[in-house]
Amino acid sequence: MVAHVLVEIQARKMVKTFTYLVPHELQDKIQIGIRVLVPFNNRKLEGFVLKIDTNFTSSYELKNIIALIDNHPVINEEMLELGKLLSKKTFTNLISVYQTMLPKALKAKSKTIINKKYETYLVLNSFDNNEITSSKQKQIIDLFKDKKQILKKEANKISSSAVKTLLNKNILIENKIEDYRLNDDIVKEEKKVVLNNDQQNVVNKVLKFKQKFAPFLLHGVTGSGKTEVYMHIIEKIIAEKKEVIVLVPEISLTPQLVNTFRKRFGKTIAILHSGLSDGEKYDEWRKIEKKEVMIAIGARSAIFAPFTNLGLIIIDEEHSATYKQENNPRYNAIEVGMYRAKKYNCPIILGSATPSIESYTKAKMNYYTLLEMPKRINNTLPKIELIDMKESFKHGYTVLSKIAIDKINDRLEKKEQIMLLLNRRGYTTTISCPNCGYVHKCPNCDIPLTYHKTYHKMTCHYCNYQTYKINSCPKCHNQKLLDLGMGTEKLEEKINDIFKSKMPKIIRMDIDTTRRKGSHAKIIEDFKNHKYDILIGTQMISKGLDFPNVTLVIVVNGDASLNIPDFRSAERTFSLLNQVAGRSGRGKLSGEVIIQGYNIDHYSMVYASKNDYLGFYKEEMAIRKVLKYPPFYNLCLIKLRSNIANTCLVEGNKIVKYLKNQLTNEIILGPSACSLPKINNVYYFQIIIKYKKINNLIKPLEFINKQYLMNNKIIVEIDLNPNKI
| The predicted structure's pLDDT at residue 64 | 95
In a domain, 11, yes or no: yes
Q: Are residues 413 and 558 in the same domain?
A: yes
Mean pLDDT of the 48-62 span: 89
Q: Are residues 272 and 317 in the same domain?
A: yes
Residues 528-551 pLDDT 10s: 999 999 999 999 898 878 899 999
| The predicted structure's pLDDT at residue 384 | 97
| pLDDT level of residue 10 (50, 70, 90 thresholds) | low
Percentage above 70 pLDDT, the chain: 98
Residues 406-419 pLDDT 10s: 999 999 999 999 99
Q: Are residues 532 and 619 in the same domain?
A: yes
- For 454, list phi and psi in degrees, rounded to 5: -55, -45
Mean pLDDT of the 398-425 span: 96
Q: Are residues 437 and 420 in the same domain?
A: no
In a domain, 192, yes or no: no
Residues 228-237 pLDDT 10s: 999 999 999 9
In a domain, 112, yes or no: no
> What is the distance between the alpha carbons of residues 606 and 671, in angstroms, rounded to a whole number?
35
560: left (phi over 0), alpha (psi -120 to 50) or beta: alpha
For residues 632 and 647, the answer to whether their CB atoms sit within 8 Å is no
Residues 260-298 pLDDT 10s: 899 999 889 999 987 788 888 888 999 999 999 999 999
Q: Are residues 263 and 320 in the same domain?
A: yes
Q: Is the dihedral of CA 291, 295, 299, 305 positive or negative?
A: positive
Q: What does the angle CA 663 – CA 697 – CA 639 come to, to the nearest 5 degrees?
A: 100
**Cα–Cα distance list, 666 to 8, 127, 277, 686, 692 (Å):** 36, 84, 46, 16, 8
Q: Are residues 457 and 559 in the same domain?
A: no
Q: Are residues 342 and 217 in the same domain?
A: yes
In a domain, 417, yes or no: yes
Percentage above 90 pLDDT, the chain: 80
| The predicted structure's pLDDT at residue 184 | 63
In a domain, 187, yes or no: no
| Structural domain for 399, as ranges | 383-425+490-624
In a domain, 378, yes or no: no
Q: Are residues 86 and 37 in the same domain?
A: yes
Give the amino acid at 368. Answer: Y
Domain count, the chain: 6
Q: Are residues 421 and 456 in the same domain?
A: no
Q: Which of 261, 250, 292, 329 is nearest to 87 (CA)?
A: 329
> What is the distance between the alpha carbons of residues 194 and 196, in angstroms, rounded to a whole number?
7
Q: Is the dihedral of CA 198, 200, 204, 207 positive or negative?
A: positive
The CATH number given to whatever domain includes residue 589 is: 3.40.50.300
Q: Are residues 437 and 306 in the same domain?
A: no
Residues 515-531 pLDDT 10s: 888 898 899 999 999 99
Q: Are residues 238 and 349 in the same domain?
A: yes
Q: Are residues 302 and 392 in the same domain?
A: no
> What is the distance between the alpha carbons of residues 267 and 263, in angstroms, rounded to a whole number?
9
Q: Which of 143, 194, 185, 188 is nearest to 166 (CA)?
A: 143
